[in-house]
Structure 1
Amino acid sequence: MSLFEDTYKTITSPSEGIYRDKGSKFIAYAYPLRGEDQVKERVAALKSEHPKARHHCWAYRLTPDRSVFRINDDGEPSGTAGRPILNTLLSYDLTNILVVVVRYFGGTLLGVPGLIHAYKTATVEALNAAEVVELTTNDVYRVSFGYEQMNDVMRIVKEENLGVLNQAFDNRCALELEIRRLRVNAVLERLQKVTGVNMVYTDTR
């Protein structure tokens, strides 16, 4: 992701695709993914749903800058399953996504080229069935201020169309704001001009 790019593509909901070759069946499941902790439970659920399948191979990409990824061949020859799945995610430029391909062995060996083609094609089928959405990369800031600054702060929130994730209004007020990355500097500059406002960066999503 370049310095000036603040969007990324992912899928909105789970989708499926299927590919058959010489009796073997490859069922691909694509899932939107928020964190690595979801991977284990997704794979475990598919293993219990398909207990007779020979392999459950997968790949995922995470984070808006696409920097986190992992692959698993689950017993297939190295480079024939997880890598083609990941390469397909790369070619579609998707992130925050997990694809698991469940293989039922049909009794005939497909060879390395055949396996690569099968895992890639099953993944393509699942991605073609998915709804792809482009999202913005947003930085999250915790903004605190006195009650008397409420109108000034809320005007900026409204004019800049900022997402409010959490809010607490007391003698001292606090907002958790989602600010599109390309607008962060401009928004922070506006907030800094309001007397008594403190801002702390907390997250990127």
Structure 2
Amino acid sequence: MLPEYKTVYRGGEGEITEKKSRFIANVAPVASEEEVLELLEAARKKYWDARHNCFAYVIGERGELKRFSDDGEPNGTAGKPILEVLTGEGLSNTLIVVTRYFGGTLLGTGGLVRAYGAAAKAGLAASVVISKFPGLKLHITTDYTGLGKIQYILGQRGLTVLDTVYTDKVEMVVLTPQKETDAVKAEITEGTNGQAVLEEGDSCYLAEIDGKMQMV
């Protein structure tokens, strides 16, 4: 797993106008080229009367796959500046489609490059961008005397409890950033005088979304 990488969690739509031409950017998270093709087809149907639907995408945690299209605009004036916005922001698994409605005035190559880049940035500004980092599910088993201390530690660290089962003991599943796991385990062990049983579970990616750590 990578130490950390950025992606779009929730896509958005942004729009700019340049010399009466409308540039509408739609951003979406994608995990495969099949998803890209479906979203491109949907964009072409939605904006069926537009002259151009230009796009760029980056797929792979390390950005292994990069593609772009000018869709009839002069070579290098649309898809490439959109891609440069994606790579400049360090985003992976993200698609940006910029639809242009021609306003009757030619923008020139420089004007097109600026407009498509600005539209892509407007689309990202309307999206939710997250940083994904490695984590794991920490399984905690404790008696009721240690529960309060564990809850306090988890609350202080802002850790998310996925599940809690109450029987004659308490079993919890907690999302823990990988780099904090050893410290969390040591703190719980000390806080419960070694009475809590701690087991590391499945690895996963985590991100902070709306102020809460979530599995993504």
| TM category, shorter | 0.5 to 0.7
**After the TM superposition, which residues 60-139 of structure 1 pair with which residues of structure 2 at under 5 Å, given as runs?**
60-61=57-58, 67=63, 70-73=66-69, 75-76=71-72, 79-92=76-89, 97-105=94-102, 112-127=109-124, 130=126, 137-139=132-134
CA contact (8 A) 2:27 2:127 kept: no
Does 2:144 correspond to 1:144?
A: no
1:119 Cα deviation after fit: 1.6
RMSD: 4.2
Which residue of 1 is the match for residue 187 of structure 2? 190
Q: Gaps spanning 5+ residues in structure 1: where?
A: none
- Quickly say closer, same or farther: Cα 1:183–1:136, change in 2 above 3 A: farther
Aligned to 1:167: 163
Q: What's 2:201 paired with?
A: 200
Q: In structure 2, what is the Cα distance between the partners aligned to 1:197 and 1:124?
A: 45
1:47 aligns to what SS in structure 2? helix
- Kept in 1, the 8 Å contact 2:15–2:22? The answer is no
Give the Cα separation in 2 of the matches to 1:125 and 1:155: 41
TM-score, with structure 1 as normaliser: 0.65
CA distance in 1, matches of 2:100, 2:23: 5
Q: Deviations over 1:58-104 (max 9, x none)?
A: 234578x7746633306346543222112123445556654210123
Residue type matched to 2:100 in 1?
R
Give the structure with the higher percent strand: 2
| Cα distance in 2, alignment partners of residues 147 and 185 from structure 1 | 18
Indicate the SS of the match to 1:140: strand
- 8 Å CA contact 2:5–2:92 kept in 1: the answer is no
1:90-136: CA deviation from partner (whole Å, max 9, x where unpaired):
445556654210123568876654543332132234445x3776x56
Question: What per-residue deviation string (whole Å, max 9, x for no partner) do you get for residues 138-184 of structure 1?
Answer: 433223344537615434322322012x2141668654433345534
1:44 matched to 2:11? The reply is: no
Where does structure 2 lack aligned partners over 5 or more consecutive residues? 207-216
Q: TM-score, normalised by structure 2?
A: 0.62
